[in-house]
A and B are shown apart, each in its own frame.
Chain A
């Protein structure tokens, strides 16, 4: 048994499989950042920091004639979303019910995916520098009308080319911006989606809840580095006669190696 304590929960093996599958499905849809950045790992729950290859001077030395340096590392952060499921619903699922109420799990999955997206694209305090925050390019406004999007996205791609950043490029869109893109056809009925994909040199357009506006990123690799400690996992916390309290958890670090490889477009 590991730190997730899953075997301590009053949940059958079939129940755990159902919960894992539900969580996997919900998370995979909403984890937009992972569709656009470089992922490495997982390195496990005990993994605590990413090597940055850098040092800082230390004021004093323990011995004369010797200089000292201290390694600078990037600590991983932990995200956790707690939720509770009705034990009656889980018992019904074990009886074969196909419509067990897993809404608390779905909500927690969406929230933790959103948190990961926000951390990657907009940063998280001093712990994580986000892609949009780090970009040195001016953030143009995406505008309210989806018909303006090709112009703004093409402008962003041109800025990246001017900085020597090659494609293909990916486009992370917030919820409202994504909906507009999918529902819009340009003059002549040509889907806006296809037009944008051509501008992006074939790169993906990604639904990324939590992103404010849009972010154009290069997909050439090596620019945006997501390092996983414990990948997203379902764990057990406690239970009583009515509910079982579970959580979704992960640990990771994220760093921007090439700030100029992205352009943010504000909402």
Chain B
């Protein structure tokens, strides 16, 4: 088992950062799995095998989405940028630039708050402590 999701000595990282890194690694793996299934599905001709792989790919969609939501809940600027890009129609790059400017260059947040419900977005702090 590898520990290469850490780029700094794990002993020097706080628990919350280690958990964050694990979920980032998990997110990467789920995205890779989605891509691998997509390639397999593209070349498979057996209908039953295709159904099994489509079902398996659906699981990876779920896993990826759960990982992403976990990470976004713990990093408000990332969440704020994502809110400006995801599930929007129109130019993706344009939305990205606008969302980044809003979140990081002084826009966004403010009286409306960084989170949709107006909360501080603290949520779970599991993994915190010494």
Which residues B74-130 have CB closer than 8 A to chain A?
76, 106-107, 109-114, 117-130
Query: Contact between A35 and B120 (Cβ–Cβ < 8 Å)?
Result: no
What's the Cα separation between A7 and B15 when bound, in Å?
A: 36
**Which of B109, B112, B120, B128 contacts A23 (CB under 8 A)?**
B120
Binary CB contact string for chain B from 41 to 72 against chain A (1 if under 8 A, 0 otherwise): 00000000000000000000000000000000
* Chain A residues with CB below 8 A from B114, complex form: 17, 20
Q: What residue of chain A has the Cβ atom nearest to residue B125's Cβ? A: A34
**Which of B111, B113, B118, B125 contacts A35 (CB under 8 A)?**
B125
Query: Contact between A42 and B109 (Cβ–Cβ < 8 Å)?
Result: no
What's the Cα separation between A203 and B109 when bound, in Å?
A: 35
Binds B, one of A136-144, A151-159, A204-212, A258-266: A204-212
**How large, as a class, is the contact surface on chain A?**
35 or more
What's the Cα separation between A59 and B121 when bound, in Å?
A: 44
What's the Cα separation between A247 and B67 when bound, in Å?
A: 33
* Chain B residues with CB below 8 A from A197, complex form: 130
What's the Cα separation between A4 and B126 when bound, in Å?
A: 27
Query: Contact between A14 and B111 (Cβ–Cβ < 8 Å)?
Result: no
Query: Contact between A42 and B127 (Cβ–Cβ < 8 Å)?
Result: no
* Chain A residues with CB below 8 A from B123, complex form: 34, 39, 41-42, 228, 231
Interface presence of A186 (CB below 8 A): no
Known: A39-B126, A207-B129. A233 touches B120 (CB 8 A): yes
What's the Cα separation between A238 and B8 when bound, in Å?
A: 47
* Chain A residues with CB below 8 A from B113, complex form: 4, 6, 16, 20, 233-234
In terms of DSSP, what is the predominant structure of the interface of chain A?
A: mixed
Known: A34-B126, A35-B127. A233 touches B118 (CB 8 A): yes
* Chain A residues with CB below 8 A from B107, complex form: 13
- Nearest CB of A to B79, in Å: 13
* Chain A residues with CB below 8 A from B117, complex form: 2, 42, 44-45, 230-231, 233
What's the Cα separation between A38 and B110 when bound, in Å?
A: 30
* Chain B residues with CB below 8 A from A16, complex form: 109-111, 113
Known: A28-B125, A35-B128, A206-B129. A13 touches B110 (CB 8 A): yes
Query: Contact between B130 and A27 (Cβ–Cβ < 8 Å)?
Result: no
What's the Cα separation between A197 and B130 when bound, in Å?
A: 9
Known: A35-B127, A207-B129. A24 touches B112 (CB 8 A): no
Q: Report A's interface with B, CB cutoff 8 A.
A: 2, 4, 6-7, 9, 11-14, 16-17, 20, 23-24, 27-28, 31-32, 34-36, 38-39, 41-42, 44-45, 170, 182, 193, 197, 204-207, 228, 230-235
3 shortest interchain CB distances as A-B pairs: A13-B110, A204-B129, A39-B124
18 additional contacts, CB 8 Å, given A20-B109, A182-B130, A205-B130? A6-B111, A11-B111, A14-B110, A16-B111, A24-B121, A27-B122, A28-B125, A31-B125, A34-B122, A35-B129, A45-B117, A204-B130, A206-B130, A231-B117, A231-B121, A233-B117, A233-B119, A235-B118
A–B pairs, 19, beta carbons within 8 Å: A2-B118, A6-B113, A13-B106, A13-B109, A13-B111, A14-B110, A20-B114, A23-B120, A24-B120, A27-B122, A31-B125, A34-B128, A197-B130, A205-B129, A206-B130, A207-B129, A233-B113, A233-B117, A233-B119
